[in-house]
């Protein structure tokens, strides 16, 4: 998966970090079940690089709260920002991504 865009006059690519020293993706479960008052439980497992660890947390949580059956799986995956060419050093300016509305009475 790659996403490319311009920033600081350089084309950048956002890439999955597949380097050998890249951190392992981490997983966690977030309980999205509703409490009796309508609020979300929000309990979450510890982050882990292996899925069985968070599945064990889900089993413990459902044991303690048999009606909490909705979970969100959150996965944190390392990515890298890679420039097509190295940008020059200097202060980081504001990105030119805003749009100025036309002045009243003009056609622009």
CA angle 58, 73, 64 (to 5 degrees): 20
58 part of the interface to Zn ion, by CB under 5 A: no
If one asks whether residue 68 binds Zn ion (CB under 5 A), the answer comes out as yes
What number of chain residues touch Zn ion (CB under 5 A)?
6
Closest CA to 60 of 89, 17, 31: 31
Give the CA radius of gyration of the chain: 22
The region of 11-19, 52-60, 65-73, 75-83 touching Zn ion under the rule CB under 5 A is 65-73
Cβ-Cβ contacts under 8 Å for 81 (sequence gap 6 or more) = 12, 13, 14
Which residue lies nearer to Zn ion by CB, 15 or 30? 30
Nearer to Zn ion, 15 or 62 (CB): 62
The least CB distance from residue 69 to Zn ion, in Å, is 9
CB of 86 to Zn ion, least distance (A): 48
Indicate whether 30 belongs to the interface with Zn ion (CB under 5 A): no
Q: Does residue number 62 form part of the binding site for Zn ion (CB under 5 A)? A: no
Q: Six-digit token pair at 37? A: 């008052």
C-alpha to C-alpha distances, 2 to 17, 27, 37, 77, nearest whole angstrom: 11, 22, 43, 13
Binding site for Zn ion (CB under 5 A): 31, 33, 41, 43, 65, 68
């Amino acid at each position: 998966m790659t996403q490319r865009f311009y920033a600081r006059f350089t084309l950048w690519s956002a890439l999955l970090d597949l380097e050998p020293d890249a951190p392992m993706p981490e997983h966690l479960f977030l309980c999205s079940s509703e409490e009796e008052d309508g609020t979300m439980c929000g309990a979450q497992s510890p982050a882990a690089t292996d899925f069985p660890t968070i599945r064990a947390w889900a089993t413990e949580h459902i044991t303690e709260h048999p009606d909490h059956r909705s979970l969100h799986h959150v996965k944190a995956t390392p990515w890298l920002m890679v420039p097509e060419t190295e940008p020059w050093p200097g202060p980081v300016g504001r990105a030119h991504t805003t749009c100025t509305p036309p002045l009243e009475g003009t056609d622009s």
